[in-house]
Structure 1
Amino acid sequence: MRKPVITIFYQFNPWNATIGGIQTLINTFIKYAPSQFEVKLVGTNTDPKKPVGKWQQAEFAGREIAFLPLFTLEDDNVRSLIPTTLKYTAALLGHRFASDFMHFHRIEPTIAALNWQGEKTLFIHNDIQTQMQAAGNKKAILWRRFPAAYFALEGLLVRQFSQILSCNTDAAQLYKQRYPRLQDRIAYIKNSFDNGIFYPLREDEREIKRRELASRLGVDEQTRFILFAGRLHPQKDPILLVRAFATLNEPHIHLLVAGDGELGVEMRAEIARLGLVDKITMLGAVTQSQLAELHRVCNVFVLSSAYEGLPLVVLEALGSGTPVVTTQCGETPKLLTAESGVVCSQRTPSCIADALRKVLLHPGDYPTESCVQTAKPYAASTVVEQVYSEMLNRWEQRNSIALPV
């Protein structure tokens, strides 16, 4: 019997040091795909010298996959004048990908898929209602300028999906209310982190690695580290984080920023304006293994977002034994315990600073074991494997041939 084929659609190259929870989740789905499946990825290229528009066999995370780059996108960490999603959607038009399973992580590209045959799944990564209503820069998501148009398009496209899976319980409930006829197709799904990469160190090892990091950065060996990791985008509001760090004003505390994006220039200007150049290090985009090393040695991870689903980076921090400080957004406040982090009651510099101070000055209140235990239900080794197991069962049922009596 042939293998079932899963084709994943998203505008990125998995071999590039890209930033974003969607990309990380897709990488995890590739890595943990059982051998019973044939895996394909329709993405983008990063090297203009390499061909596009042709299937190629490749290896990712020890897994053989078929990869089709639709066009060249040299840096997907920074938005261009024409949204990448629009380019990707246009590149899909005219293609017809037949596949047993198709996974989509943005709805716009599924315009091209309306007549494709196969089981289609749409993953919802943000609380779309909060995302549309969020105050601030309208450029954070262009659909915020035209919400009626977005929901009209969504209403046209959602009917084609066999499953609509959201990592945010509020978003899952919203979709059930918005599309009552599709209720049985809509469900909450746990986001998952790669627990083979994100794991804690023993306390003595952690202390040694922290001192080594301090030495590499040329700061006092007693320095404790706050980590932010993510795209420098209005959704994540890194400018608010810089102002919160200025408000914190504690000695021997250093902020590490792993990520890149359109707010990079503005963020550096704000750091300089506040006189924090020696207390904040901008690391740029880092690899997954480098991020894992940072999680294992930092004292606290911070999230200053305006809206979220369930950020993978939060699960990665907790899985590494690091407590989390978060704004009141997305699913994170619902999973954190009193021993694994602090939820800020207000999204202000002073409130975030107070939460960070609480964790930094009382580390014993947030033990490694509690953080790891909070993340445990979201480990990819169980979550992703369960998803594939259910997919395989459905495929076998569809393709079973009744034996003669």
Structure 2
Amino acid sequence: MRKPVLTIFYQFNPWHASIGGIQTLINTFIKYAPDEFEVKLVGTASDASQPIGKWQQAEFAGREISFFPLFLVEDDNKRSLIPTTLKYTAALLGRSFSSDFMHFHRLEPSLAAMNWQGEKILFIHNDIRTQMKTVSDQKAILWRKFPGVYFALERLLIGQFNQILSCNTDAAEFYRQNYAHLQDCIQYVKNSFDNEVFYPWNWQEKQAHRRELATQMGLDEETRFILFAGRLHPQKDPILLIRAVAKLKESNAHLLIAGDGELAPSVRQEIEQLGLSNKVTMLGALKQPELAKLHRLSSVFVLSSAYEGLPLVVLEALGSGTPIVTTRCGETPKLLHLDSGVICEQRTPECLADALDKVLSHPDNYPIEACVRTAQPYAARTVIRDIYGEMFNRWEIGKLSLVS
């Protein structure tokens, strides 16, 4: 019996360390794909030894998939002069990857899919209105320079999608208002984290591992770790975070930055100028198991972003039993409870520092169990199983209608 085919489109290589929630979500979709589906990924190669422009069978997370690299991207964590999304879209033009189901995580590549046959699903990861308005750096988002062109492209392409799934309720409502004729296609969908990877230690284990890391780093044994994980990009505003660390009252706090990106030199410069070399450690991009360990031993995870959808890294931190300090952006403030995090009402170093001090000074107010409970509805096995289940039901109905 033929299996339904899902083809996922995104500009990355799942076997190569790459920073970003979209990449993590796709990896989870592959890992938890039921046996009833054949899964394909159209991505990019990470080294010259990979055959370009050819289907190849490979295993990822214990799952057999078909992989088609369109071109070479040696470092996905750094932006090139020509945006990778533009190169990826251009490489798709003139090809046909028609499938039973097609998942798109950026709008632009669907330009090549206008005549492809099959059910197309668009995942919306950010609130586009906020994304266009709030970032001061014009280079952060290319479309911010040409918003009229972007929305014209969106109007051209949006009608081909059978489903539009957004992890941000504000973004979902924006699309319903702007595309009333597609209301039935637009849904809010939970983002999901892999709770087989991101799980908590008990309090005693957490403290033991925290002290062990502090000793390894040559820090005081009582050091409490603040964790930031993500791309060093204007969206995440790591400079704001560094300035907040300079205003912390908690003397034993130490910031760990797990990630890389175009702002890395600016972040290093800011650390040096503020004399924070003994208070901040930049770790670069980490593999998932290493990051999961840091989530479990950290005292607080911090999000200093200008805009977001629902960051997977927040769910990963909560699932690891670690409370959140966040700016008021995206979906995170809507899911946090008083015992799982603090929301900053102002995007200032002072407000961020006060929130971090609050969590660090009163850890008993943010118990491990409360954080895990907040994340539990977003566990990948449940969320992704339901999405695949709905897809399979639609496929079965489609087969029956063809027979009748």
Do they superpose with TM above 0.5?
yes
**Whole-Å Cα distance in 1 between the matches of residues 250 and 377 of structure 2?**
35
Q: Give SS of 2:236's match.
A: coil
Equivalent in the alignment of 1:264: 264
Which structure 2 segments of 5+ residues have no match?
Answer: none
**Whole-Å Cα distance in 1 between the matches of residues 18 and 112 of structure 2?**
25
**Whole-Å Cα distance in 2 between the matches of residues 35 and 400 of structure 1?**
21
Cα deviation 1:45-89 (Å, max 9, x = unaligned) = 001232110000000000000000000000010100000000100
Equivalent in the alignment of 1:355: 355
**Whole-Å Cα distance in 1 between the matches of residues 59 and 212 of structure 2?**
33
Cα deviation 1:214-246 (Å, max 9, x = unaligned) = 122111111000000000000000000000011
Cα deviation 1:21-45 (Å, max 9, x = unaligned) = 0000000000000010000000000
Amino acid of the structure 2 residue aligned with 1:73: V
Equivalent in the alignment of 1:7: 7
Q: Is the 8 A contact 2:192 2:380 kept in 1?
A: yes
**Whole-Å Cα distance in 2 between the matches of residues 173 and 327 of structure 1?**
21
Q: What is the CA distance between 1:403 and its match in structure 2? A: 8.0
Equivalent in the alignment of 2:151: 151
Equivalent in the alignment of 1:319: 319
Amino acid of the structure 1 residue aligned with 2:146: F
Equivalent in the alignment of 2:114: 114
**Whole-Å Cα distance in 1 between the matches of residues 235 and 229 of structure 2?**
13
**Whole-Å Cα distance in 2 between the matches of residues 224 and 90 of structure 1?**
47
Q: Which stretches of structure 1, 4 residues or more, deviate above 4 A after TM superposition?
A: 401-404
Equivalent in the alignment of 1:200: 200
**Whole-Å Cα distance in 2 between the matches of residues 401 and 174 of structure 1?**
33
Equivalent in the alignment of 2:239: 239
Which structure 1 segments of 5+ residues have no match?
Answer: none
* 2:174 is equivalent to residue 177 of structure 1: no
Q: Give SS of 1:140's match.
A: coil
Equivalent in the alignment of 1:344: 344
Q: Let me know the Cα RMSD of the aligned residues.
A: 1.0
**Whole-Å Cα distance in 1 between the matches of residues 299 and 321 of structure 2?**
9
**Whole-Å Cα distance in 1 between the matches of residues 91 and 177 of structure 2?**
33
Q: What is the CA distance between 1:327 and its match in structure 2? A: 0.1
Question: For residues 6-405 of structure 1, what are the structure 2 equivalents within 5 Å?
Answer: 6-400=6-400
Which range moved further: 28-37 or 41-50?
41-50
**Whole-Å Cα distance in 2 between the matches of residues 112 and 267 of structure 1?**
38
State the TM-score, normalized to the length of structure 2: 0.99
Amino acid of the structure 2 residue aligned with 1:22: I
Q: Give SS of 1:112's match.
A: helix
Q: What is the CA distance between 1:135 and its match in structure 2? A: 3.8
Q: Give SS of 1:247's match.
A: coil
State the TM-score, normalized to the length of structure 1: 0.99
Amino acid of the structure 2 residue aligned with 1:167: C
**Whole-Å Cα distance in 2 between the matches of residues 328 and 353 of structure 1?**
15
Q: Give SS of 2:247's match.
A: helix
Q: Give SS of 2:305's match.
A: coil
Amino acid of the structure 2 residue aligned with 1:53: G
Q: What is the CA distance between 1:256 and its match in structure 2? A: 0.1
* Number of positions where the alignment pairs a residue of Structure 1 with one of Structure 2: 404
**Whole-Å Cα distance in 1 between the matches of residues 295 and 89 of structure 2?**
35
Q: What is the CA distance between 1:361 and its match in structure 2? A: 0.2
Q: What is the CA distance between 1:402 and its match in structure 2? A: 8.1
Q: What is the CA distance between 1:250 and its match in structure 2? A: 2.3
Pair 1:143–1:197, CA change in 2 (3 A): same
